Structures are given as C-alpha cells and as structure tokens.
C-alpha cells in the first residue's frame, strides 16, 4: 500500500532559536519512499542533517526571529502488516533510563 505523510508546522520565535527536528522517515525505510520527505523551510535557512546514536535522522537549524514554517509531503510504500508486538516488554520511567556522560560524543 502507498501511504502519504507529511506536516505543516509554524513557529513564531521571539529570538533566534536552535532546534533539533526529528521529522524524517527512519533511514531503514528510505528505500520505501516513492516521494522523498525533503524538508522545506520558509524562509530558507541553512540546515545540518546528521544521525543520532539510535540511527534517527536529525535536522538541526537555528530558526530566525519571527515566523518560520516547516513542511514536507511524501509517499512511502508499506506492507500494511502490523508491527511486531512484544507483550512481555516492560515500560521504564524516564528517571530509570541510563544517562550518557555529556562529555562523551554520541555515536
């Protein structure tokens, strides 16, 4: 099946605002994209794309003072089958998760 996905986000920033955006399909699904999920920014500003330690695609920007709009419109193919269920998986409170030493670079 084909799934169309996207977003239209607007922010009004009172001052230049650094942002890390995680709005892309996971890299493991890139080959399934029929129309890429390229991020459009208005006004156009420089972006830096990188992958975090979990393999997610991250986009770093510094939003200017005032309005900024972010959008994409993409299409992906999918089998339509449900994701695997792990009934014995446990939920952990955020306070119980391990912390990474901030002095050690990720990935």
Q: Is the pLDDT of residue 16 over 90?
A: yes
Cis before residue 43, ω within 30 degrees of 0? Answer: yes
| Cβ count within 10 A of residue 24 | 21
Mean pLDDT, range 42-52, rounded to an integer: 96
CATH fold of the domain at 2-78: Immunoglobulin-like (2.60.40)
pTM, two decimal places: 0.73
Q: Do 69 and 88 touch, CB atoms closer than 8 A?
A: no
Q: Is the pLDDT of residue 102 over 70?
A: no
Give the pLDDT band (50/70/90) at residue 105.
low
Q: Which tokens belong to 3?
A: 């799934």
Q: What is the pLDDT of residue 27?
A: 94
End-to-end CA distance of the chain: 34
φ, ψ of residue 47 in degrees (nearest 5): -125, 155
3-state secondary structure of 96: helix
| Cβ count within 10 A of residue 66 | 12
């Amino acid at each position: 099946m084909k799934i169309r996905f996207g977003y239209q986000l607007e922010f009004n920033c009172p001052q230049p605002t650094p942002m890390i955006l995680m709005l892309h399909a996971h890299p493991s699904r890139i080959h399934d994209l029929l129309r890429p999920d390229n991020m459009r920014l208005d006004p156009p500003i420089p972006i830096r794309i990188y992958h975090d330690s979990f393999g997610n695609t991250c986009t770093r920007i510094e939003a200017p003072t005032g309005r900024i709009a972010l959008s994409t419109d993409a299409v992906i193919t999918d089998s339509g089958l449900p994701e695997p269920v792990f009934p014995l998986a446990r939920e952990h409170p955020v306070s119980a998760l391990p912390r990474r030493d901030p002095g050690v670079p990720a990935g």
